[in-house]
């Protein structure tokens, strides 16, 4: 899993069936110091996040396991809000 900041929303009328009804948000992956850490990506939202929220995501196949529906073709899912990150152990 990894940290991310929601930076926007994505609307796609035409999409694979599994994706219909899923809310898509635009997310900037972050490292432990909350600095950008990779390209901005689209992720399905499972916790009703919105732009500006600090969240954590699960990637690859496990992302589709975060959803109720049988199989949703996603490889990134927001699965929690982050209240705080303590990353002092690395110094």
By the rule CB under 8 A, 14 interacts with other proteins: no
d(CA 15, CA 43): 14
Select from 3, 6, 24, 27 the one that contacts other proteins (CB under 8 A): 3
Of 53, 44, 37, 35, which is closest to residue 15 (Cα–Cα)? 44
Select from 16, 36, 38, 51 the one that contacts other proteins (CB under 8 A): 38
For residue 63, what is the enclosing H or E element? helix 61-64
Select from 19, 26, 42, 82 the one that contacts other proteins (CB under 8 A): 82
Of 46, 48, 4, 47, which is closest to residue 26 (Cα–Cα)? 4
Are 72 and 18 spatial neighbours (Cβ–Cβ below 8 Å)?
yes
Residue position matching structure tokens 């599994």 = 18
By the rule CB under 8 A, 44 interacts with other proteins: no
Least distance in angstroms from the C-beta of 68 to other proteins = 8
Q: Which is nearer to other proteins, 24 or 77 (CB)?
A: 77
Applying CB under 8 A, the residues found at the interface with other proteins are 1-3, 31-32, 37-38, 46-47, 56, 58-63, 65-66, 77, 79-90
């Amino acid at each position: 899993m990894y940290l991310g900041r929601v930076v926007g929303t994505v609307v796609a009328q035409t999409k694979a069936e599994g994706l219909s009804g899923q809310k898509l948000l635009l997310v900037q992956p972050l490292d432990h110091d909350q600095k950008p850490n990779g390209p901005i990506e689209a992720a399905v939202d499972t916790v009703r996040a919105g732009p500006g929220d600090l969240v954590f995501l699960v990637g690859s196949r496990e992302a589709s396991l975060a959803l109720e529906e049988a199989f949703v073709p996603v490889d990134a899912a927001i699965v929690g809000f982050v209240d705080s990150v303590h990353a002092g152990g690395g110094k």
